[in-house]
């Protein structure tokens, strides 16, 4: 008798004895008390069982029945397009075909028992439900033990692969709102719209820190600051995962662990050099906080750290992620990244050895979208005794646990009432409000803006009449570059300006007629930046704006008319002294489908801008250091050349409003504290302007001396409030030395060092001393 069969029989006998005991005692003994001490042994066992106990028993029982092939199959995620009819698998736009080779699908599921399907491309809700149901029905028919597949998808900024879905600003813009409610709402409405369609697993949020300004995925982050990314990441994960529509829910995926966002070259999926202290202080906190808040899955970094591909690193994927950060969920690879250990990183001789390295490093599920060979390799490695079956069981239990918690075993099929939660008025309002609060007015010379009621406006630039320029990659297709997929109701900047300025002549000009139209206009609005891109297709070797766009700006400036520069882009493109020569500059980033309306509202004055930069916008290509390190470096090295000190046109946290705010009465409960004390801070902010506005108050701390070189300043707390003209509000911040005055060493151990700390809020400063008891 095999050990597996013996264990299964023994467990079954225990269950029967337990069930008989419960039935007997509850049927023959009258209950007089709910006190557990008055219960029989069997009743106490039943009484004390939790939902987690039931789940674990279910998973253990299921695992005992599974063959090695079934277990390995659960660890595979295959791209839906793998099953498409060849001639109609995917058109040039990235729109997914409806033509599925059902015979192939049945054969693959029957043979390999695959556990997950990767979905993508744009469909209507009806089409998504149809395709999800088709896959799941075929799976349930062919899965030996009736294990549902889990569908994964990249709804990066709202339900961006749903034709009727609500598309929010990208994360970079959400960070610029300094309003965590928008991160929560983006997660919430993504789940409301996508979960009932059968989308179980969303590959968001991105928790990297955007310090490499040329990195093509910068717009997918919440910005360059660790604290900002931590707060926003937690809110997104909470909004997505706590939103249940009946039995339907979604799992978040914190990605890409770790160091993915800071490649040395700035190119996607390439190597980063990161010292251990920096990793623990700046890179791990957003992941740690999201894991603590319940993030169910994590995706690994496609690149390498200090020469070691993360997908093959036991240190990062097990020691740091699981042992130190406490992650217990499912760890998935990124696209083809096991295969790339051999073909890109060259750390293995073949894909079988790549499989060995990845599994032994700690990977649970492999995104092997176009190949089934992973199954053959892993089964062979187990049979060769190179990988223990217990190691496979560990990953399979995590995957089954994820499916159980999402309710997929209970109800594997999409909802019948999915239309009820799609593109509701509440979702539209949330996305509109997020867009309005995410656009940064960087410069407003002589209060040119708002424009009021001009007679004529000229609009020009690569993104002036572009829908996709407002949204960027991951919008209705992977690259986001097919204008025909965007909603008819969506307005470009030009269209929104015509709607906003009803009594103004708004002209869309081309280069040839720019001087003429500028000459008869009150202002020229140049809407430039970048065309959409995603991942490696966005790699660039020049940070400057394209030369033809620079020429447009120069021509407009030469007309001597007021020039308003609007930057629609996923990362900062260098404009140098053009910033100084334009009268107003707006960093719009990628504000989503309502971005055109928001920009028009800001230009007219209907919307008072309240966003702040979530990144440092460099002045020159060689000066691209984040806010908390840059000033010290440049002052220290270039004190004899003040011109070089101008390394930014928009520092982190900067932004202009149409009203004015005055900070006063910075109050501290004490100036000397110990590590066991708390320090209460408050500041008063008055709206001294003539219109209402929102002010985000950012609290910074500088550790003046440390064992490790300390940042110039670090954001430790932020809060945004609405103030009427003349209104005064108090903003508060409680300093806990364990949290706000400590930092990790190169082993991740917390250090709290005596000394002086500077507190900064607005233009106000104070100084405190931390000393041991």
Contact 707, 751 (CB under 8 A): yes
Within 10 A of 773 (CB to CB), how many other CB atoms are there? Answer: 6
Q: How far is CA 754 from CA 680, 705, 748, in A?
A: 19, 9, 19
Torsion of CA 236, 237, 243, 249, to 10 degrees: 130
Query: What gap in Å lies between CA 619 and CA 573, rounded to an integer?
Result: 9
Return d(Cα 2, Cα 159) in angstroms, integer.
48
Tokens 């800071």, residue located: 262
Q: Partners of 693 in the beta sheet?
A: 723
Q: At what angle do helices 125-142 and 102-112 cross, to 10 degrees?
A: 40
Q: Measure the CA–CA gap between 361 and 75, rounded to whole angstroms.
A: 14
Separation between Cα atoms, residue 639 and residue 261, nearest integer Å: 31
Helices H / strands E in the chain, number of each: 25, 28
- Beta-ladder partners of 759: 701, 766
Q: Which of 555, 520, 523, 557 has the alpha carbon at shortest distance from 450?
A: 523
What's the chain's length in residues? Answer: 773
Q: Answer yes or no: are the C-beta atoms of 416 and 566 closer than 8 Å.
A: no
- Decide: residue 457, CB within 10 A, 0-12 exposed, 13-18 middle, 19+ buried: buried
| Secondary structure of residue 2 in the 3-state scheme | coil
Strand order in the sheet with 330-332: 253-257, 297-300, 330-332
Given 334, 364, 481, 703, the catalytic residue: 334
Which of 766, 757, 731, 759 is CA-nearest to residue 675?
Answer: 757
Look-up of token digits 């204008």: 483
Active site residue 334: yes
> Can you tell me whether residue 508 is helix, strand or coil?
strand
Closest Cα to residue 614, out of 164, 267, 230? 230
- Asked whether the beta carbons of 493 and 445 are under 8 A apart, the reply is no
Q: Pick from 636, 720, 741, 725: which is nearest to 678 by CA? A: 741
CA distances from 35 to 30, 45, 47, 376, 640 (A): 13, 14, 11, 55, 80
**Residue 683 φ then ψ, to 5°:** -145, 145
Taking the C-alpha atoms of residue 553 and residue 550, their distance in angstroms, rounded to an integer, is 5
Q: Which helix (H) or strand (E) holds 341?
A: helix 340-343
Q: Residue 232 and residue 219: Cα distance in Å, rounded?
A: 14
State which H helix or E strand residue 153 sits in: strand 150-153
Omega into 299 within 30° of 0, i.e. cis?
Answer: no
Q: Which residues are catalytic?
A: 334
């Amino acid at each position: 008798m095999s050990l597996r069969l013996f264990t299964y029989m023994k467990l079954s006998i225990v269950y029967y004895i337990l069930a008989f005991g419960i039935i007997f005692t509850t049927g023959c003994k009258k209950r007089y008390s709910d006190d557990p001490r008055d219960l029989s042994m069997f009743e106490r066992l039943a009484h004390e069982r939790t939902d987690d106990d039931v789940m674990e028993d279910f998973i253990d029982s299921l695992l005992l029945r599974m063959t090695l092939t079934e277990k390995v199959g659960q660890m595979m995620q295959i791209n839906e397009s793998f099953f498409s009819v060849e001639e109609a698998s995917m058109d040039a736009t990235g729109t997914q075909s409806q033509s599925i080779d059902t015979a192939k699908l049945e054969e693959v599921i029957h043979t390999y028992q695959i556990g997950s399907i990767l979905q993508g491309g744009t469909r209507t809700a009806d089409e998504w439900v149809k395709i999800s149901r088709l896959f799941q029905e075929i799976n349930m028919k062919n899965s030996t033990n009736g294990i549902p597949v889990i569908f994964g998808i990249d709804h990066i900024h709202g339900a961006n692969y749903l034709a009727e879905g609500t598309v929010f600003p990208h994360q970079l813009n959400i960070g610029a709102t300094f309003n965590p409610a928008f991160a929560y709402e983006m997660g919430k409405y993504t789940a409301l719209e996508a979960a009932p369609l059968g989308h179980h697993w969303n590959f968001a949020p991105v928790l990297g820190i955007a310090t490499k300004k040329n990195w093509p995925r910068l717009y997918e982050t919440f910005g360059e600051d660790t604290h900002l990314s931590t707060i926003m990441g937690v809110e997104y994960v909470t909004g997505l995962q706590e939103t249940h529509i009946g039995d339907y829910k979604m799992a978040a995926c914190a990605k890409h662990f770790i160091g993915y966002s800071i490649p040395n070259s700035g190119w996607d999926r390439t190597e980063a050099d990161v010292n251990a202290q920096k990793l623990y202080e700046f890179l791990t906190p957003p992941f740690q906080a999201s894991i603590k808040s319940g993030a169910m899955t994590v995706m690994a970094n496609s690149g390498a750290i200090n020469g070691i591909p993360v997908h093959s690193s036991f240190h990062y994927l097990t020691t740091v992620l699981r042992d130190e950060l406490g992650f217990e969920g499912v760890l998935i690879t990124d696209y083809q990244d096991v295969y790339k250990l051999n073909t890109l990183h060259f750390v293995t001789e073949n894909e079988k050895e790549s499989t060995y390295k990845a599994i032994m490093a700690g990977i649970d599920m492999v995104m092997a979208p176009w190949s089934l060979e992973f199954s053959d390799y892993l089964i062979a490695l187990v049979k060769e005794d190179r990988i223990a079956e217990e190691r496979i069981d560990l990953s399979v239990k995590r995957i089954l646990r994820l499916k159980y918690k999402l309710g997929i075993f209970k109800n594997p099929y999409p909802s019948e009432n999915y239309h009820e939660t799609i593109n509701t008025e509440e979702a539209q309002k949330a996305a509109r409000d997020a867009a309005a609060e995410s656009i940064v007015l960087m410069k407003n010379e002589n209060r040119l803006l708002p424009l009021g009621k001009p007679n004529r406006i000229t609009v020009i630039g690569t993104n002036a009449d572009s829908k996709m320029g407002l949204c960027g990659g991951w919008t209705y297709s992977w690259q986001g570059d097919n204008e025909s997929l965007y909603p008819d109701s969506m307005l470009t900047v030009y269209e929104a300006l015509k709607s906003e300025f009803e009594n103004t002549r708004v002209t869309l000009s081309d280069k040839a007629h720019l001087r003429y139209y500028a000459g008869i206009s009150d202002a020229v609005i140049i809407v430039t930046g970048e065309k959409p891109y995603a991942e490696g297709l966005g790699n660039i070797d020049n940070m400057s704006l394209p030369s033809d766009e620079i020429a447009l700006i120069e021509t407009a400036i030469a007309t001597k008319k007021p020039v308003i520069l609007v930057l629609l882009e996923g990362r900062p493109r260098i404009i140098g002294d053009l910033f100084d020569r334009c009268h107003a500059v707006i960093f719009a980033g990628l504000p989503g489908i309502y971005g055109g309306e928001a920009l028009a509202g800001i230009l007219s004055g209907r919307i008072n801008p309240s966003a702040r930069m979530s990144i440092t916008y460099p002045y020159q290509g060689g000066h691209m250091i984040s806010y908390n390190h840059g000033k010290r470096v440049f002052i220290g090295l270039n004190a004899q050349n003040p011109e070089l000190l101008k390394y930014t046109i928009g520092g982190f946290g900067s932004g202009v409003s149409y009203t004015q705010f005055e900070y006063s009465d910075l109050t501290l409960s004490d100036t000397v504290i110990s590590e066991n004390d708390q320090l209460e801070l408050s500041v008063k902010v008055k709206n001294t302007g003539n219109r209402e506005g929102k002010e985000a108050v950012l609290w910074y701390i500088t550790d003046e001396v440390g064992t490790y070189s300390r940042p110039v300043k670090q954001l430790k707390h932020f809060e945004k409030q609405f103030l009427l003209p003349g209104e005064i509000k108090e903003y508060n911040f409680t300093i806990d030395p364990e949290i706000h005055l400590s930092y990790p060493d190169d082993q991740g151990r917390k250090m709290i060092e005596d000394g002086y700390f500077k507190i900064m809020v607005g233009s106000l400063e104070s100084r405190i001393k931390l000393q041991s008891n």
